[in-house]
Structures are given as C-alpha cells and as structure tokens.
Amino acid sequence: MPVNTAARVRRIKPSPSTAAAQRVRELKSQGLTILDLTVGEPDFDTPDHVKAAAIRAIEAGETKYTPVNGTPALRAAITAKLRERHGLECTDDRITVGGGAKQVIFLALMATLDEGDEVIVPAPYWVSYPDMVRANDGTPVVVDCEESDGFKLTPERLGAAITERTRWVILNTPGNPTGSAYTTTELHSLAEVLLDHPHVGVLTDEIYDEIWYGDQDAPSLAAVEPRLADRVFLTNGVSKTYAMTGWRIGYGVGPTALITAINTLQSQTSSCPSSVSQAAAAAALTGPQDFVRETVSVYRARRDATVQLINDIPQLSCTVPDGGFYLLVNCGATTGRSTPSGTRIDNDEDFARHLLDTQQVAVIHGTAYGVPGYFRISFATSTDVLTEACARMAKACAELSTVPSVVPSA
C-alpha cells in the first residue's frame, strides 16, 4: 500500500551524526582505513561489576516487565546519586526512567508542546534538539552563542528570545558539541531572567556531567536556584559516564505533573525500559566509581594533547572544553581556499568532505550543530588515532591554496 508520510516526519531530517557514521561504515566496507572522529560514545568497555549485575538479573529471572517509571532499585539509586552529587531530594513521583536520555527528552517535549509553542535552543546545539521540537509540533528558536562567550547562552540573549509562546529553554551542560559548561555564577544569572518568566520551563541535559575536568562537581541549575525546582526537568543517564550506550537507560527528574504525563506516554509506547539494563544501571550508579575517575583521567590527557595539536595547525583552532569528549574546531580560515584538485572550500561541510576524501579523517561539520565555520571531533578514541588524525588535518590544510582572484576582461 502507498505510504503517506505524516507531516511531523517531513519536518525533520535524519541525524547528521548517524549519517556520518553510516558514510564511515560504507567507506570501511570498501576496504579504506578511516580515522573516525565522529563517534559520540566512550571507547571503553562497560565496567565488569555492571555486566555482572546484568548477568545476575538474568539468572534470577528479572526479565519481566517493570514499573513504567523504573524499578524501585534504580529509582533509589537515582535518588541517592542526586542527593550525593547535588544535594537534591526527590521522591519516586518525580522520577521517570526511559530507554536512554534521548527518549526521556523526546517524551518530555511530546508531553508539553502544542502547535506554535516555542523552545529556545542555544547554538551550538546537539543535533537532535531542533528536530525533536519540530517532531512534537513545536518551533525551535535557535539562539546563537558566540565563541567569545564560551558558546554559552547569556542572560541578555535569553531574555531577548523569550516570548509568551516560550515553553522551554534547553541547557546542555557540559554541552555537545562544545564541552562548555555553565558556572554557578552563570546559572544564577540565567535563573534571574527565568524567575521573571514563570511560564518558561528549563530542560537541563546533563548526560556529560561526570565526564568533567573541573576541581568541583559540575553545577546543576536545579541545585543552584531552588526557586526554579518546579520548573526544571533534569535529564541524565548512564550511557556516557559508564560506557553503557547500548544498554539504553536514561532518566529524568522534574515536577510530578510532568513525570506523570511522560509515564503515561511511555506506558503506551515502550511500556517500560529493559529490566536487565535497569539492574545494570542501578549497579553502575551505586557501585565502585573507580572506572569514572580512571576514564576521565584518560579523556583529560587526550583532550590536552589534541587541543595542542589542533592549535598548532595554522588554519584551525579550538578552545579547551570543560567536560565531555568533544572538541569544536574553528575552520573558518579554510573558507575561500581551494584543494589540489581545484575544488573550492566554501563552508565547513566542504572542509569536512575534504578531510574525508583526501585524508580519510571523518569529522562532523559544524552546520549540523547550528554553528557554521566549525567541525566537531570526538576524542573518545586512542591517542595514536588522534595524533595521526591531527597530522592528516595539518596536511589537508597545508595543501589548500588561496583561490586567485578573477580579473574581469576588458
């Protein structure tokens, strides 16, 4: 039968990061060796004690449906984690558990947006935010954030973007693709603006909060400004911190009415998250945290080395991220130059294609994140791969020549 695709599907596009990963797979299938810097997941294996907890759950027959909002053990683990990390207290009716933080965010938008509702999305943004808003009948209001401001939303820009139709503002901290994180002072300043607009909620995506390079824990808006407690929806998960991307467990903490709505939607979609994955997630949150400290130490060393290598390339530059495992690289100086084959570099997508076609280095162009003139790399890969990739980037830049100006004929 013919399929008439719904408007909500036609409004969105496939994830650029998914498309980039597929292109890398295609090239590898052709026998090419690709240095892949696109992957947004840890290159470490899930900790042994977490895998053991999953095995125990299987052997104990914990393979049935669970409550829609997660097992009591996992909800208790989430509660303990928030208390320990941020001093936040939450009851079970303020917690939802889903198939990854991405699903939790999607369901929150589905539960709250009607046609014409606006969601403020600071750019650079994670590629999925605008399309998740569009898929749920909302309108993404993209607010550009300058590199000079650490790629972060300022109180002035936030205030200017809020209208009577604003339903949410999304804060991803530490962020993807920048690694930038808001300080306690910066969160206080944003909170002062939000307190003047009681109809606006804040969706905080804190999935990278423990891949963090500061001396103190990454601050959370929910803890920084208690007066916003009933307007903040905090999302997190185990995917990045514990190398559990495939286990698909995320969670959200927020107002009871919102949690009830999300759980209602989940009851009619996936029913509940995987029981075995929940047992593993509870073990990750409550068990030994040595894995986190050890991997963050490795990421920090990779970050520092790669930042230096990138900034040594004349036509590229990047700032030092506060958390996560990404670098957002400024490649604006390559625009207007030409490749050895005569192809002109007109934008960041052209440069990313140049890296892949000539040097077999895969990155994701910055326009996918709402920031033209940049590209994102992941340093969740070995130091050897990062070193070689940067050497190839330097070669790719060195091969570019200035396009000669065209003199009009008389």
Residue 32, pLDDT score: 85
Reading phi first (left if > 0) and then psi (alpha if -120 to 50, else beta), residue 336 is in left
Residue 403, pLDDT score: 57
Residue 260 has pLDDT above 80, yes or no: yes
Residue 146 has pLDDT above 70, yes or no: yes
Residue 406 has pLDDT above 60, yes or no: no
Residue 65, pLDDT score: 98
* Beta strand 35-36 pairing with 361-362: parallel
What's the rounded mean pLDDT across residues 379-394?
Answer: 98
Reading phi first (left if > 0) and then psi (alpha if -120 to 50, else beta), residue 151 is in left
Residue 404 has pLDDT above 70, yes or no: no
What percent of the chain lies above the pLDDT cut of 70?
A: 98
Residue 13, pLDDT score: 81
What's the rounded mean pLDDT across residues 88-116?
Answer: 97
Q: Could you give the 3-state DSSP secondary structure of residue 36?
A: strand
What's the rounded mean pLDDT across residues 348-370?
Answer: 96
Residue 16, pLDDT score: 75
Residue 408 has pLDDT above 70, yes or no: no
Cα atoms found within 13 Å of the Cα of residue 39, Cβ hemisphere only? 18
Q: How far apart are CA 116 and CA 165, in angstroms?
A: 7
Q: Over the stretch 175-214, which tens digit does the pLDDT of each residue have?
A: 999 999 999 999 999 999 999 999 999 999 999 999 999 9
Residue 19, pLDDT score: 75
Sequence-distant (≥ 6) Cβ neighbours of residue 102 within 8 angstroms: 128, 250
Residue 376: strand pairing partners: 328, 364
Confidence label for 29 from pLDDT (cuts 50, 70 and 90): confident
Tell me, what DSSP letter sits at residue 381?
S
What's the rounded mean pLDDT across residues 242-253?
Answer: 98
In order, the DSSP letters of 38-51 are ---S-SSPPPHHHH
What percent of the chain lies above the pLDDT cut of 90?
A: 90
Q: ∠ CA 361-364-370 to the nearest 5 degrees?
A: 155
| CB count in 10 Å sphere of residue 163 | 12
Residue 27 has pLDDT above 90, yes or no: no
Q: Could you give the 3-state DSSP secondary structure of residue 34?
A: coil
Q: Over the stretch 288-313, which tens digit does the pLDDT of each residue have?
A: 999 999 999 999 999 999 999 999 99
Q: Could you give the 3-state DSSP secondary structure of residue 196?
A: coil
Residue 141 belongs to what H/E stretch?
A: strand 139-144
Domains of the chain, start order: 7-44+291-401 (3.90.1150.10), 49-286 (3.40.640.10)
Q: Over the stretch 56-90, which tens digit does the pLDDT of each residue have?
A: 999 999 999 999 999 999 999 999 999 999 999 99
- The overall average pLDDT reported for the chain is 95
For residue 361, CA distances in Å to 12, 24, 384 come to 28, 9, 13
